[in-house]
Every structure is written in C-alpha cells, then in structure tokens.
Amino acid sequence: MPDFRPPRPGEVNITLPERTDAALYFIGRIQTPWRSLKECPKNSAARKDVTATIEVDEPFAAGLKDIALLSHLIVLYWLDRSQRTAILQAPSHVPEPRGVFALRSPVRPNPIGLSVVELVAVEGNRLTIRGIDCVDGTPLIDIKPYFASSDSFPDAKRP
Amino acid sequence: MPDFRPPRPGEVNITLPERTDAALYFIGRIQTPWRSLKECPKNSAARKDVTATIEVDEPFAAGLKDIALLSHLIVLYWLDRSQRTAILQAPSHVPEPRGVFALRSPVRPNPIGLSVVELVAVEGNRLTIRGIDCVDGTPLIDIKPYFASSDSFPDAKRP
C-alpha cells in the first residue's frame, strides 16, 4: 500500500503523462531492519553500520557470478510506496521548496532508489551488504559494480 | 530499433518473466556527440572531456530548480537499444564470462544506464554536463544530486 505523506507548504505537484514509456522487472528483494518508512534512517551515517541482505530471484541469480571480486556495489531499487508527482518539495532541512532533481527524496517521477553499498559477503543468491536505507522488502531492480575511477568524486560540492 | 550484437562464446541468456512489474516515464533526452553504439567511448577517460546536453521535458523541467547548487549529478537513462537476456557476458577485456551484475554492460535485465557527471551549466530546461558515454538521443529517467558523503568511495576495489 502506498504510504503517502501529506503535502507540505510550497510543494508543487504535476500531472503525469497518460502513458509510460518503458517497463521494469523486479529481480529480487532487499531485506532491511526497517519495517516502515518512518523507521528508515534519514542520514547515511545512521545506516553505515547496519547490515542488510539482497536476495536475487531466479532466473536472475546467475548474474551474480564474480560479484565477490568487488568491494562496493551500486544498488538500484524501486520505491514502490512513493507517489510520483511532487516536482517541488519542501523537506524539513531546506529553507524553501527545492526541485526534485536537486534532492535525493524517494518521491520522484521515476521512484528509483540508489545506494552505494559495501559488499560484506556472498552466499548463493544472497548478498550481505552495508549502507542501504530502504524499507524491508523493497524490490530490487539492478546491481552494478562501483568503480572509483568513474564513480568517486570526493570533492563534489553540495548546498 | 534495437542494435543487438551477436552473442560471444560462453555467454548465457535467460528467459525473462512474462510480465513486468513497474513502469517508467521518459522525462527528457540526452544529447551526445555519439550517433551510434559503436561510436560511444569504451572507457571513462575518453568521455571526461566531452560535453553533452540533458534536455528535460515538460512537465518535469520544474524539478531542476536549485540544481545549479550542485557540482556533480547522478544521471539515470534508459538504454533502449539493449537486449535484456544475457545473464553471463564475455566482454573482450575479461578472460571468462562474467555475471551481468559484476559488469557495467548496457545489456542487463533492466537496462538502466548510470553516469556520475560534472554539471557545467544550467540554462532553462537544459543542462550542460561532462562525463557521459551514451548514444545521442538516449531517454532520460532520473537526475539525482551526487553527495560525496554517501556516494564517494575512492578506495573501492575492482578486479
């Protein structure tokens, strides 16, 4: 069931197009300690010590071959409890409504969540990871190797 | 039109589920100098100097508000010329077929491309960026702020 929060002052919603353009398969599930959106950690420091499990379903699990060669992964998942229309949003930590593409909010036109995680262990179709903040049971859509050469920008600036 | 390459020795394909589970909106397009997959750069060094443009369509463009506060973005796009069934793949740079989730191949069950890019300029609904390797006209599905605190792992290991 969607778990929409009420709109905040200054938020702006759009009308989405009538048709979608592409379709995804759920390829597994992410098991975390957080049973509801309210329990999920709001900042990355809080989640860094917490272990979670990614379980990849058949027929996709064969694609995990050689994953243990990597120390870090990029995990993409489907935020299936998010509404998709809030184009300007007013999170409590910013003074004025901000555009959705300047926020890591789970509420977005295509509600794809992204976390860079540490790979702790691999056992069959199950990966133990650290560094994810999604609710228990979140559908998995992709796992990618993290490459420092193209993905790490330690000096990136943010507001 | 899909632009499938022929299978390589040792590659393994799966049968995809009959039904998909979620749907995406294309929210814009990415304009690059590369008109075909063959022209696209194979390594990140080659693309770092090249400028590309992201054009965000209405009604999504309002979501770009405040994006200029960021130096780097994570761009997600739909690799619409990729087949989706190759679960073990044999790129020329690896000795044996490798699982798709240990590769950044565009061929994957959910063909979502990801690049961390430098934001060079913002003009209305158009972003000038550096650091993307996709073919001209690739559909855009999301833009996220890059946060060094949670996304930068300079010591990540890879094969």
Interval A108-158: pLDDT, tens? 999 999 999 999 999 999 999 999 989 999 999 999 999 999 999 999 999
A27 interaction partners in chain B (CB closer than 8 Å): 109-110
Task: Give Dmax (Cα) for chain A.
Answer: 48
Inter-chain CB pairs, A–B, below 8 Å: 252
Q: Which of B14, B36, B42 is nearest to B99 (CA)?
A: B14
Q: What is the pLDDT of residues B2-45, one digit of tens each?
A: 456 677 888 999 999 999 999 999 999 999 999 988 888 876 66
Decide if the complex's ipTM is over 0.90: yes
Nearest CA-CA distance, residue B77 and chain A, Å: 11
Q: Which of B53, B111, B55, B103 is nearest to B82 (CA)?
A: B111
Point out the residue among A70, A109, A131 whose CB comes nearest to the CB of B158: A70
Mutate to test the interface with B, among A42, A57, A110 (most CBs of B within 10 A): A110
Q: Nearest-CA residue of chain A relative to B130?
A: A150
The answer to whether the Cβ–Cβ distance between B147 and A101 falls below 8 Å is: no
Going across the sheet that includes B12-13, the strands are B12-13, B86-89, B98-99
Spell out the long-range contacts of B93-101 with Cβ–Cβ below 8 A and sequence spacing 24 or more: B94/B159, B96/B10, B97/A65, B97/B10, B97/B11, B97/B12, B98/A65, B98/A66, B99/A62, B99/A63, B99/A64, B99/A65, B99/A66, B99/A67, B100/A63, B101/A56, B101/A63, B101/A64, B101/A67, B101/A73, B101/A142, B101/A143, B101/A144, B101/A145
